Amino acid sequence: MLTETIIQAKNADWTIPQNWDRFSREEHRVWDLLFARQSAALQGKAVSDFFQGLDVLRLSKPGIPDFDELNERLFARTGWTVVSVPGLVPDEIFFEHLSKRRFPAGNFIRAADSLDYIEQPDVFHDVFGHVPLLALPAVADFMQAMGAEGLAALQAGALHRLARLYWYSVEFGLVLEDGALRIYGAGLLSSLGESRFALESPVPSRAPFVLDTVLRTRYRSDAYQQAYFVIEGFETLLELLGTADLTDRYPALAGEADLEPARAGRR
Ligand code: HBI
Ligand code: FE
């Protein structure tokens, strides 16, 4: 089994078999706990499209989703599938998957005694956080575009810019829905503490999503965010990725100073 995993990890695209049967009862219990806790916590906080998409995760068995079953449903909705990977994969591999409508998900789950802390994206973050919205056509399309832009940014030596765009939208984005602030970023959807903090704390700034500002704003991956950027709807991101020609922006931005998140929208 171990040898099989090691050999499989050498697939050029870093995918490995999920081996769903290998998860223990304890691991399935952690998923169920997190799922119940987080779906309740997000009431009135997450964008309504998230709850619409959440039923793709309600499968015939409880516990960590079996990707074969999950993929039948997800693929039928938007042509996306989830693939198993051992953990973080190289940027190029990651964006290559996205550009082909495949979302890489960590093939492990956090321990029962550290429900609120992960060092690397696990199957709960990846599947609960990212997959429900991938069942939405607008998100399905902009995530694929994000993959293509990621590959282009790598070519242009500007990955850090695209990473900021990804971070402040896909991972930590906020959206206005009927005038109310809601969460759509997966890093928020999958975090009990930060889902509250992002909407309720007086500490962080919440600025309108302006492309050049986002591309210039640094972020931290080891603490709650000091800045969140607010879109008016998913069409905004789709249009932005469809028309902005990001690669053209990179040389122009090279002369501009980076912005600190604590000051975003406060100038
Ligand atoms: N790998 N498994 C995994 N998950 C990610 O979110 C991920 C990755 N590799 C690279 C990467 N993200 C970053 O380059 C982007 O977040 C910008
Ligand atoms: Fe993520």
Mean pLDDT of 39-68: 94
Q: Is the CB of 253 under 6 A from ligand 1?
A: no
- 3-state secondary structure (DSSP) of residue 140: helix
**Tokens 């198993």 identify what position?**
84
Residue 10 has a pLDDT of: 65
Q: Could you tell me the maximum CA-CA distance found in the chain, to the nearest angstrom?
A: 57
Ligand nearest to the CA of 167: 1
Q: Considering only residues 2 and 231, tell me which one the structure prediction assigns the higher pLDDT.
A: 231
Distance CA 267, CA 264 (A): 7
Pairing mode, strands 180-183 and 174-177: antiparallel
Distance CA 118, CA 111 (A): 9
Residue 171 CA, closest ligand 1 atom number: 16
Residue 2 has a pLDDT of: 57
pLDDT tens digit sequence for 144-176 = 999 999 999 999 999 999 999 999 999 999 999
**Side-chain-side CA neighbours of residue 247 (13 Å):** 13
Q: Are 46 and 181 in contact (CB under 8 A)?
A: no
Per-chain mean pLDDT for the chain: 93
* Structure tokens, 256: 């501009």
**What CATH number should be reported for the domain holding residue 32?**
1.10.800.10
Distance CA 256, CA 253 (A): 5
Distance CA 75, CA 118 (A): 28
Taking the whole predicted model, whether its pTM rises above 0.85 is answered as yes
Residue 242 has a pLDDT of: 80
**Tokens 């931290």 identify what position?**
220
CA of residue 44 to ligand 2 center, whole Å: 22
List the residue whose alpha carbon is closest to atom 17 of ligand 1: 163
The secondary structure of 77-106 as a DSSP string is HHS-EEEEESS---HHHHHHHHHTTEEEEE
Q: Is the CB of 166 under 6 A from ligand 1?
A: yes
In the chain, the number of structural domains is 1
- 3-state secondary structure (DSSP) of residue 266: coil
Q: What DSSP state is assigned to residue 254?
A: T
Q: Is the CB of 88 under 6 A from ligand 1?
A: yes
Residue 9 has a pLDDT of: 53
pLDDT at 265 over 70: no
pLDDT tens digit sequence for 67-102 = 999 999 999 999 999 999 999 999 999 999 999 999
Q: Which of 52-61, 127-136, 249-258 has the highest mean pLDDT?
A: 127-136
Domain interval for residue 218: 2-263
pLDDT at 112 over 60: yes
Residue closest to 238 by CA, chosen among 138, 152, 170: 138
Percent of the chain whose pLDDT exceeds 90? 83
Tell me the chain's radius of gyration from C-alpha atoms. 18
CA of residue 157 to ligand 1 center, whole Å: 17
